Chain A
Amino acid sequence: MKDIKRYSAVEFKATPLKNQKRGDWDVVLEYHGEGEGPWLVDLSHRTRLDLQSSDLATKKPFGITIPETPCRSVLEKGMLLNRMNRIQTSIYHLDGETIDIPEEKEYTDVTEATIFVAIFGSRVFSVCEKLSNLDFAGENKQTPFLFQGPFSHVPCQIVTLSREAEKSGVVLTCSRGYGKHMIDGILHAGEEFGLTPAGEARFTSWINNL
């Protein structure tokens, strides 16, 4: 039997240039020919948690205060917290070393439930506009903010992290099963804008510059 590995539902037809073994994941840090952007990065190996509690106000996951208003998000210490509704928050680990999942029962590790990708760089919202009728550019929303709605006709969580020209970008999760077709759809929509797969390093650099 070969090594036990974990596989992402996201697969790019690009040649990895730099890899890193992280637990049982084989994480691609850089691909050949990443181009000038915009970029699509697979973050499915990054931990996502579901926090549900009737008393969310008292919860401070990883020492971060959860936004009070549904659909508001907060990005701190490499963690992105998205208030989904009265009782529920999604937590994405975007940057930094592996995290310890809190032991309280209110937390469920949902890393496996979804694919997790970032789309960023100039014209990212032109790509999004081809796949979703959600208004990413509406001035009435302050970044970061959460949409729970359709993207390529599939229910997603999409967090807009920045709308600043070259720094524009979103992270997106959807049911893992849709992984292949969602990625095909995003890459096809982004083809005319030069959207290319990129490794995690590109994402890390982006997130650290926000």
Chain B
Amino acid sequence: MMTRFNHLPTLKINTGDKIPFTYKGKTFYGVKGDTIATALYANGVRIYARSLKYHRPRGLYSMNGECSNTMMEVNGIPNVRTETTYLKPGMVIKEQNVKGSAENDLLGFIDKMDWAMPAGFYYDTMHKPAKIWPVAMKQIRKAAGIGKLSPDHHMPGKYDEIFPTCDVCVIGGGHAGMKAALAAAQKGLRVILMEARPWLGGDFEYRTSEYLDSQTHHERAVQLAKEVEKTENIRVFTHTANVGTYNNNLVTGFQIGKESDSFTERYIELRANSVVVATGCIERPLLFENNERPGVMQAGCALRLANTYGMLPGKTAVFSIGHDLGLETAATLHDLGLSIPVIADIREDGQDPKLLKAVLDRKITILKGWVATEAHGSKQVKKVTIKSVDATVSKTFDCDVLVASAGFTPLTGPLVINQAKLTYDNHTNFFLPTDLPKKMYAAGRLLGFENAESIEASGHLAGLKAAYDCENCSIAELGDAKKAMETLPGPARGTKLITAPVKGRKTFICFDEDVSIKNIKQSINKGFDVPELIKRFSGAGLGPGQGGIPGHNLPLFTAKYQALPDIRIKPTTVRPPLVPTLIATYAGTNHTMFKRTPMDEMQRKDGGIFRNIGVWQRARYFSKDFTCKKEIENVRNNVGMLDGSTLGKFRIHGPDALNALQRVYVSDLSKIKEGRVKYTAMCNDDGCVIDDGVVVKLGENDYYFSTSTGRAGQTIEWIRYHTRYENWDFALVNLTDAMGVINLSGPNARKVLEKVVDIDVSNEGFGFSEYKEFTIADTIPVKAMRLGFVGELSYELHVPASYMKSLWLMLNEAGKEFNIQNFGVEAQNVLRMEKCHVILGQESEQRTNLLDIGMGFLWSRKKTGYKTVGVAALIQAEKDNNRLKLVGFKMENNGRAPKDGALIVDDRVLGHVCTARNSFSLNEAVGMALVQGDMSKIGTRLAFYEDECNGELIYGTVVETPFYDPEGKRMKM
């Protein structure tokens, strides 16, 4: 293991705290504060992975995780960005995308086959003759993608979520971000500051060069961070990557938990009144031959390796840079012991004189107007060729590291995904954000500022602008801040050079997809002349890093290659997530959130098998026999109890309650008598039936009604919506959860009920379709209805939810002598199907109207003046014989029932099966189907086509309905 520095003030590692991990089956040690990548680097690993297409060796490049170079499998999870993932004890790290090892990859020979794989080669080849394609497709799919994960992989860890709100959100905890946060906080606003790294300070945090008056950038970063942390109304989320920004300043991100946190990762979704984006810049890759060879790295990467992680990137480094950070890095690393034979600075002039002097003082050769053109070495850099930018002179130097970057690229993602535009700026050579969304501001280095005071002033100004949005800052204060900015240096001039003078066969503009400059030229020559098209044809920017590496080089090169007079070409579209994270993080805590009925506990104890049905969990079966034979036979021959609590239940009262009911129900409800139950239905404007239920009159202008389970949540809104232009006075109260419902059904139902009630429940005392209110044991108030959905003598008991358990136990006790049993939703489904009672949604679909399913009898044609919803459409539909009709059918030759949803066909689709079962009550298979009008005649033969039937149809015949007890004697007994 490499010796680590332990004297630098910028270090984020503790060399005394060793952390063991496993790599390729052997135990290695990193130190506390290491990322996985730095721990491996310290242990001599230089090749982390192989590239996707050509299997080229790849190594540490930027330390920002914007490419797949250092993605590895960690603890069984593929594609972990080891540059930004911190080392934990016991981690098991493996290489991926290799055949053999990253060092010796058997597929490495593909690198020499690049001539056979020009841009978009799979569009040109492998599809003529057509039979090749299925074979080729399989091979391509095998090769595509990196890493493997089992579909049933369980993600270890705790994943949480929070939804904070604030006045101002600042994205980016560098100097500009911290100044913005402080400016807004000093105005008394609630500020949230998000920073992707585990500490504040941004790119100043690891720099030991002078900030101002002998204070280093690092010291200034620490000073500002302390100020931020002690400001009560700034809430700091470190190690929190921003992943999205959306309308009205919805900002999303994810935070990596510390050891002391209760979460592994947590999703953050915050709403801010105003947002400041101060995300800074990444380095723009320099394009030259073998520009991604292990040993080639960006200046920030080399500097952070030393200053943050305490190790030099190598022994001898050549620098090929186009910015002052490169000079600063060279001076700093030289002082730490790195040998630097030469700095090739792309710029002829414009260098910071102080830095230039610092380099010359250290006797480092600097060649202005020079650039690296090729890195040599098959697996790692061994020497570098540099040339003058006009390619007239060249030199070669031995080295093991090449520090290379062309310039900077602003991280504009948070602005762009919230619809800001990017416009090319000739001075900075940046694509700068313009047309920013409302209440969103940019600050700091991403605007091109390099002067530290300017960066801070731009942050301060953005913070005040955000405060102004919150009405906590005056125009005068804004004016002062703007004036202060004007006295400071503006954005720095950016380096124009995009690519070294090379042919570009192995000059990679996109590392993830192995897309070279040559491939870009091929794409443009084929007519794909803008980045969005080039991206899709060549694959540049389609890999895991998305636009991280090709980012701004692709549009710049595209413009240059086509000799465009001005750069109107834009970078490719950026989409969230800006930083990839785990699906588990997005899922968050994922609390189960279903409704349970008041009888839930008792039914579970009785062996109920529950299913999630809409928002409810309901007992669907009470045994593992999913035909529910015993449950069905018990109801037909004895007595059963069903939990019907999920039904919608409502009270409507007030002077216009009846008007409102008449508006939405098709029946004439003015004729309801007290003590009677009225079954009716609602339609939508198209006459399509959407709900059914019963209505009872509680008193003058006071009604109680039920709806189907699925419609309960929408009923109040539906009625209010359809009465919105009337000045009607009525009140609606949702009692769905307030009232539990027990459906006591079967020929012995009366015998059970009469044991627990004091009223006369005989057929004469409590007849079919009657409604009664009474109390049980002088305590439990009951609203009872005589209904017959399952086709047997039935009592529907509506009881306050808190009493349901008590009543359930009473009925169970009373029913003991009859061996009363539960029945579930599936048994009810079969029982009512035998009776041909419909369930809306089962026997209907979106286009099915009241008449189609034979419920036209509910429609009161004499009811006028209420503008009943759907009636106008029903009048039209009544004359239409071509509509689907609901019919009953039996299977031929005592055959089995078709599957629900099976199609009814000849050479066309003529309808579908709604519900069909093998009926134990009838000893034959029966069902209901929606069929075309001309198929609805009794005796019509129906052919059923089921999924996976291989063309083997089964047959049935349309018959009279209902199948069971057609005269309805049993439910009226």
Contacts and interface: CB of A to CB of B under 8 A. Distances in A.
Q: Which of A44, A112, A181 has the most CB of B within 10 A?
A: A112
Interface in B233-275: 262, 269, 271
Contacts of B806: 4-7
Contacts of B736: 113, 175, 177
Contact of B735 (A113, A131, A184): A113
Interface residues of A, number: 51
B802 A52 contact: no
A52 B733 CA distance: 9
A184 B598 contact: no
A157 interface: no
- Which interface residue of A54, A137, A154, A192 has the most chain B CB atoms within 10 A? A54
Contacts of A53: 731
Contacts of A54: 654, 729
A164 B739 CA distance: 38
A202 interface: no
Contacts of B597: 177
B328 interface: no
Interface stretch (A31-39, A91-99, A102-110): A102-110
B737 A114 contact: yes
Contact of B738 (A52, A113, A192): A113
A152 B616 CA distance: 16
Interface in B179-211: 190
A111 to B, nearest CB: 8
Interface string A131-159: 11111011000000000000011100000
A184 B736 CA distance: 22
A188 B737 contact: no
Contacts of A181: 591-594, 596
Contacts of A178: 593-595
- Secondary structure dominating the interface of B: mixed
Given A50-B733, A129-B163, A176 B738 contact: yes
Interface of A: 1-2, 4-9, 24-25, 44, 50, 52-54, 87-88, 105-106, 108, 110-114, 129-135, 137-138, 152-154, 175-182, 184-185, 188-189, 191-192
Given A6-B802, A130-B160, A152-B591, A180 B739 contact: no
B803 interface: yes
6 contacts: A50-B733, A53-B731, A106-B731, A112-B739, A177-B597, A180-B596
A4, A133, A182, most chain B CB atoms within 10 A: A4
B737 A152 contact: no
Given A52-B733, A152-B591, A179 B803 contact: no
Given A4-B779, A181-B591, A129 B164 contact: yes
Contact of B598 (A7, A130, A185, A192): A7
Given A4-B780, A176-B801, A110 B738 contact: yes
Contacts of A133: 163, 165, 269, 271
Nearest to A3: B806
Nearest to A132: B163
Nearest to B597: A177
Contact of B801 (A9, A24, A105): A9
A129 B738 contact: no
B595 A177 contact: yes
B757 to A, nearest CB: 13
B591 A4 contact: no
Name which of B190, B593, B701 has the most chain A CB atoms within 10 A of its CB. B593
A167 B702 CA distance: 42
Contacts of A132: 163
A91 B804 CA distance: 24
Interface in B766-783: 777, 779-780
B730 to A, nearest CB: 9
Contacts of B262: 191-192
Contacts of A50: 733
Contact of B165 (A5, A138, A177): A138
B673 interface: no
B633 interface: no
Contacts of A52: 654, 731-733
B800 interface: yes
Interface string B136-168: 000000000000000000000000111111000
Given A152-B591, A154-B593, 9 more contacts: A7-B802, A52-B731, A54-B729, A105-B701, A106-B653, A113-B736, A130-B163, A135-B165, A177-B596
Nearest to B645: A177
